[in-house]
Structure formats: C-alpha cells, structure tokens
Amino acid sequence: MIEWLIGAAVFGLVGELFGASRSKSSSPSPKSILITQPQSGLNLNLAKHEKPETEWNSTRFRQLAAELAWLNNPPQFPAACLTPAILCEAAKYSDYLRQQLARTETGIEDTTQLERIAEFLKNPKEARERAINAHLDRELARWEQFLDQVESKPLTLEQRRAVLSDEDATLVLAGAGSKKTSVITAKAAHLLKSGIRSVDEILPLAYGKDAANEVAVRMGRACDEPVKAWTFHALAYHITGSVEGTKPPLAAHAGESDA
C-alpha cells in the first residue's frame, strides 16, 4: 500500500486558529474514502465564559460583517490559514458576543448586517461548512472534465472532494484498492494546473522504491512535468547529508528492491 505526503507547503501543520483534532472512526470499507479535516476553530467552546481581549463595539461588529462576506463567497478554499482573524475571534467568543451584540445593535443601522452577524454567532461551524460546500460545488463543476480524465477512470464524488479540498491539513483514510494513489496523483496535478502550488512545493513520499517510482511516473504524466518522489528513508538520508555535510554508511540490505 502506498503511503504518501504532500509537503508542508500543502499539507502542513494545522493552524492553531482551527483547533485541529481528529475524531475516532471505524475503519473505512475497502472502496470508501474518509476525509478527516481539522475541526473548525469557528466552533471552539474553550472560551465559552470568557471575554475577548479586544473591545467589541458597533465598529468592531461592522468589521465582522464585512469579513462575513468573504466567508459567504470565498474566492478559494476557506482553509484555516486563510480565514480572517476577526472571524476566528468571533467564533471563539460567540456566546459572549451574542450578548454584546444585543447591547450594541442600536449602533448598527444596517439590519442585514445585524442578521448576518447574529446568524454567524449562532453556529460558526455551520457557517464555515456551508462556505466549504459552496466552494466545492463550484470547483466540482469547473474541474469536471479534468477529474474525468486525469486517471484511467473518472474519479468518484468522494475522490473529487478529496482532490479539491485544500485545507491546511487533510487526512484521507481508505482501504486497499480504494484508489488512494489516484487521488494523490490527481491532487498534485490539480494543485499545479490551478496555480495553487509549484512543482517544487510538491513532496510525494512512499515506503518502498517501487512505490515511489510508480508515484513519480503517474504524477509526472498527470502534471505534464517531472515530479520527484522519495522513499521516507531516502529523504531522511538526503536531509542528513545536506545538514551534516556527509552521509552515514548504509546497511548491506539497503540496496534491496523493497528497501
């Protein structure tokens, strides 16, 4: 089974503002794909009884309303690192801010703004999920032909959503034969063709040489340009040599085909 990673520039550490967590789940069936993403920081309850450090007056709420327009129609995938800080702060202190909004709403004349703010504070996580789904619906239509042709068979809806989800970190869990390599190949090709990433920001990793070679060939064919794939050990060996100035000797069996 091929294990892979797209480098830190693409699937990096999860931003603190979205309070990353992984929910426990049963093992997926061989043909299913489960996409686990960071839980949105727009649903944090850690500060339920706390107040934000900044003062929230009518001006601050109007700033929030302006940023909500971004969430309602994000120009790209609304990843954690792209979410405006004021949205994350409002989500974190949503209980307190609902009360504060009731006290300051006389200073906000735009009733549409008031309704938009109140709706967001009621359920920040749901607001972000709507934004993600709306963006993915647009991208599914835009990239339909590409996703039909990038591999030998058209990708399934689950696979397409995995390809188009550009969260700070995305974990795809799937059983043997579920086309994980097809997903990561298509994802790399999409990132390059859409201009989101350049080829030097794509880092595919595999456990064995044969798997790494297969990934490199398939990605190169899908991306129309060469993509270098490494085994985990080869990458570590390369980094060690670059940092230390010399590479340590390898074990005798290191040159075996499955090493």
Strand ranges, E, within the chain: 33-36, 171-174, 205-206, 230-231
The reply to whether 114 falls in a domain is: yes
Q: Is residue 82 part of a domain?
A: yes
Count of structural domains, the chain: 1
Main-chain dihedrals φ then ψ at residue 8, nearest 5 degrees: -55, -25
Q: Find the domain containing 154 and state its range.
A: 58-197
Q: Which residues of the chain have pLDDT under 70?
A: 1-49, 105-106, 254-259
Rounded distance between C-alpha atoms, residue 192 and residue 96, angstroms: 43
Give the model's pLDDT for residue 7: 37
Confidence (pLDDT) at 250: 79
Residue 12 lies in a domain: no
Cβ atoms of 27 and 93 closer than 8 Å: no
Cross-strand bridge partners of residue 174: 33
- Output the six-digit token pair for 147: 């996703």
CA–CA distance, 240 with 244 (Å, rounded to integer):
6
Report the pLDDT value the prediction gives residue 258, as an integer from 0 to 100. Answer: 54
Residue 183 lies in a domain: yes
Question: For residue 168, is it within any domain?
Answer: yes
**Is 71 part of any domain?**
yes
Entry pTM: 0.71
pLDDT at 112: 83
What pLDDT is attached to residue 219?
92
For residue 65, being part of any structural domain is answered with: yes
CB burial readout 11-47, b (16+ within 10 A) else e: beebbebbbbeeeeeeeeeeeebbbebbbbbbbbeee
Does 24 map to a domain?
no
What pLDDT, on the 0 to 100 scale, is given for residue 2?
43
